[in-house]
Structure 1
């Protein structure tokens, strides 16, 4: 018997390890890279974003739409690589909320957590409303006599929330595989349609649609709106406990998601702008640009597939966003920041079922209420995306501020991570300030005030909780730790 074989058969005792992880109850090390990538891709919902976000950006940025998307892609890459400073070292369910606690402390971490919950929650509402909106368009194609009312969309939203509940409670592998399948099919349909459209325009590209005729403030607002096409790319970091190789798979998933989605957005935004110019029509007058282009190109049947695929993509986005939302809530429940019941898991499926139920109990009625108050799905979606953008970008700014401090504390700060984090943080801060000011005077202005009120209320909750439970300062920031069962010869402190 070799020395290695003897060590394996009779390993030396390794003491000082706990028998249970602080986030025990989830399916530790159960999902591979494909599932991790699926979480980020589905949260971004590239096919849904590719058909809706360019239109929202064009309303503000005009001819600089493609440039706004390119700037957003660059900023998102800077943020993704900054988040990877933590993702390569910490496996957590709290994502940026946990990461910021390691750099800026518990107060900033809680603000980040609130901002993340706003982002994930309102993106989930946006996605449910979008799925209902596109499904209603599809149903109206087959049943023209069906009333195109807000009530129909609201009923569809409730039905899809029920689908989300079933998929999410039954396990992370099911939810990630379902969402990846849906997104892959949706992106495929969009790329085929883009290929058809580009072939109709002729072999010579129309470079005039790549103009740069927007004012600086409109370009900034356009870039922030374009960033909403990328938000959620960091959501795979909420699977740090469940990923098999979290320090490798999560960082790769963040970067690959941003690059893949960015390239898709650049191609689809160009095809939409060039297509409408060739038609002599105004893209801002359309509520479904890709459908209108498919009809004008004589492939209306592809519009039907597109409606179905985009609705499915929105549903996948809702599932992924609620997955991330529930895991941040789960982390807060385990820490005692929120009621401990939220930190429990399902005995059979090993999912944070209470946090999932809580998320859906918030997201579903607020989605329906917004549909009613905004008097339509499209108007509601524009308000919801404004709130979500404010939450996400606030969290991104804070993690950019935390990364250099964290690296300095562990003695690993170098020039490039510092420059990258500072550039991303400063540019995002400027863009967010301009964005909130400009949007506050627009038709979507109510979204700005909802975001600001939500942040203030969140900070107020933290102040009250911390006053009554000062020990929270020492519990925030839990993450998955090596346990005795992970190590040959491991023996817990209590075993």
Structure 2
């Protein structure tokens, strides 16, 4: 299997293990939901979709995206039941499509998650700077707020993962409570024209400004839900907890987003798209003023900042674990695969990720970029396209993996063939819509944005070619690509249904 121990790798007694069984099912759900940043989605992405994306069909678009991601999650969950790794998409792809494709996926998702942290922290800097100015009379440039936030993320991630989970859990609970209060108050009040059942009429897609933009924003709202698998190595009973957490996270976020988008439509009735275009980031703040108590808006001013922080922090942890996984496999410098002796956190990888994000923020700041228009818009386009491509390939990996190990029942065929095929087609369709609307998303014919598909392709090809080079020049390192590092998990997995049919489930990859 190519497994390399600490002594074999020359690391001696250096710690390379994460803190096993340290987090539970609830912690996973909290962290993946924090990555979705409910208040950020409500205050920013839903109004933009109403104004320039799915229009009156925004709630329907979120409902449709929920269905697509639930279908994708079926195959994803089947893989998570059998493979537990901090590498998640990277490891799944290596096991299902072979090592070269696995490393290609690993490079793409690492680049995406690394840049998502930088992109989201741009919003944190923008709103944090405004908050300091309005409520405390302090004039602090957005980039210093962003950089301070990234340093704080590294400090927190240096300690045990349970510390991270508690912080994200508290921030998330406050976010969800505030958004629900505003949404419920708006719906129960009937807004300006009463309830809006036409918001769920597919015919509204035909009148939408740009359906592709609506789906882009919806998928962007979910990016990071594979956090469930990333924390598998640190989870109690990962074979049960990870799949269950994935389904619950996707479904609860979907219901939440759909309801909040519907509340936004009820707020101004037929005039909602026009009002959203005028108010944009103030849309739900105005609804809060109109339908709740006065202090809610002030509370939202603070929580939108904490929401951006929680979201950026969650992706900081995601990217850190991908750096850690690739470092542990020896694909990237092995120092990245080290963990803290006491806390068992991937502290080296976390430091590298924080440095990369700080550098990205500095480059945008020096170039005079706007933190929302450029940093928090252009980078998410790249990240979303990259993650959609990865999810498309993971669907194929599920099919390839179970083609090799075999299927027994009709349910097996539905979960590991039919569902991944539907998921792959859906991911491909959304990728097409995204690429077809690049200029619109960028706010103009911007060459650096038009070349985003090329950037993603170059990264994917680089990973694939690097794997081929390793295969010929360093077979031992090549053998570690997508490896499984838990001795218990390295044994051949024999599921009860396979035992009964005489089929054994192995994990060897070409």
Are residues 1:311 and 2:309 paired? Answer: no
Picking from 369, 372, 376, the partner of 2:370 is: 376
Please identify, of 186-195 and 467-476, the stretch whose mean Cα deviation from structure 2 is larger: 467-476
> For 1:27, what is the secondary structure of its paired residue?
coil
Aligned-pair Cα RMSD in Å: 2.8
Picking from 374, 381, 404, the partner of 2:399 is: 404
Partner residue, 1:73: 66
Partner residue, 2:158: 169
1:213 CA drift (Å): 3.1
Partner residue, 2:503: none
Are residues 1:453 and 2:455 paired? Answer: yes
1:265 CA drift (Å): 0.7
1:107 CA drift (Å): 1.8
Partner residue, 2:251: 259
**Partners of 2:200 and 2:333 in 1: CA distance:** 51
Partner residue, 1:426: 425
Q: How does 1:325-404 map to 2 (within 5 A)?
A: 325-370=319-364, 373=367, 375-380=369-374, 381-404=376-399
**Partners of 2:311 and 2:285 in 1: CA distance:** 21
| Cα distance change of structure 1 residues 374 and 272 upon mapping to structure 2, 3 Å threshold | farther
**Partners of 1:107 and 1:179 in 2: CA distance:** 35
Partner residue, 2:204: 213
| Cα distance change of structure 1 residues 423 and 458 upon mapping to structure 2, 3 Å threshold | closer
| Cα distance change of structure 1 residues 180 and 370 upon mapping to structure 2, 3 Å threshold | same
Partner residue, 1:436: 435
1:46 CA drift (Å): 2.4
Contact 1:92 1:241 in 2 (8 A): yes
Contact 1:241 1:480 in 2 (8 A): no
Q: How does 1:56-95 map to 2 (within 5 A)?
A: 56-58=48-50, 59-95=52-88
**Partners of 1:18 and 1:116 in 2: CA distance:** 24
Partner residue, 1:136: 129
Contact 1:209 1:273 in 2 (8 A): yes
Structure 2: gaps of 5 or more residues: 10-14, 492-510
Please list the CA deviations of residues 367-400 of structure 1 after superposition, one character each: whole Å capped at 9, or x if unmatched.
3433554732220312122111112111100100
Are residues 1:482 and 2:472 paired? Answer: no
**Partners of 2:82 and 2:424 in 1: CA distance:** 21
**Partners of 2:366 and 2:292 in 1: CA distance:** 35
Structure 1: gaps of 5 or more residues: 1-16, 487-495
1:401 CA drift (Å): 0.6
**Partners of 1:123 and 1:172 in 2: CA distance:** 20
Question: Given the two structures, how large is their TM-score scaled by the length of structure 1?
Answer: 0.86
1:178 CA drift (Å): 0.8
Contact 2:42 2:284 in 1 (8 A): no
Contact 1:111 1:455 in 2 (8 A): no
1:455 CA drift (Å): 3.9
1:325 CA drift (Å): 0.9
Picking from 172, 183, 205, the partner of 1:183 is: 172
| Cα distance change of structure 1 residues 453 and 230 upon mapping to structure 2, 3 Å threshold | same
Are residues 1:324 and 2:326 paired? Answer: no
**Partners of 2:343 and 2:438 in 1: CA distance:** 43
Contact 1:48 1:314 in 2 (8 A): yes
Query: Moved runs in structure 1, 4+ residues, more than 6 A?
Result: 17-23
1:195 CA drift (Å): 2.1
Contact 1:36 1:253 in 2 (8 A): yes
